[in-house]
Amino acid sequence: MIVLDANVLIALLDRQDALHVRAFDLVEDHAWEAFCASAVTFAETLVRPSRLGLAYAHEASLRSVGVRIVPVSRAIARGVADLCAHERVGVPDATAVVTTQHAEGRLATFDRRLGKLARRHGVDLAEPYDDGGPWPFPT
């Protein structure tokens, strides 16, 4: 299971986004795996499309890729609260990490800070396979 962060979903849906190709490559490279995003991440992803009247179209696009929306359970909510209480992190990022832990999956994000936080809490990252092209962040 690959849990998609908002920046990956936003880049995937917006062809003008600087990271669109990387997001597309990531999804394409892992096409045999299941994809999901938390309900919080889903809401974060739909803010701009909602302003533009495109929320339903974007939701349909995510469904066509097979992205399942994971509800925030009590256990996830408690984990998010605990992570926020002990780290300098907001609810959206904490939700991405805790959702990934509960899914026993890997997190796909283009946010270095979130990636470091995830790794500190035992979450592996999903990345596009190296095709020799430039990756936006040095490792």
CA distances, 81 to each of 74, 77, 91, 92, 109 (Å) = 10, 6, 8, 11, 21
Q: Known binder of ligand: residue 82? A: no
What's the residue count for the chain?
139
Q: Is 93 marked as a binding-site residue?
A: yes
Helix (H, G, I), strand (E, B) or coil at 36: strand
Rounded Cα–Cα distance for residues 106 and 128 (Å): 12
Q: Token pair for residue 3?
A: 């849990």
With beta carbons less than 8 A apart as the criterion, state whether 6 and 44 touch: yes
Q: How far apart are CA 114 and CA 60, in angstroms?
A: 27
Q: Residue ranges for the binding site for Mg(2+)?
A: 5, 93
Binding residues, as ranges, are 5, 93
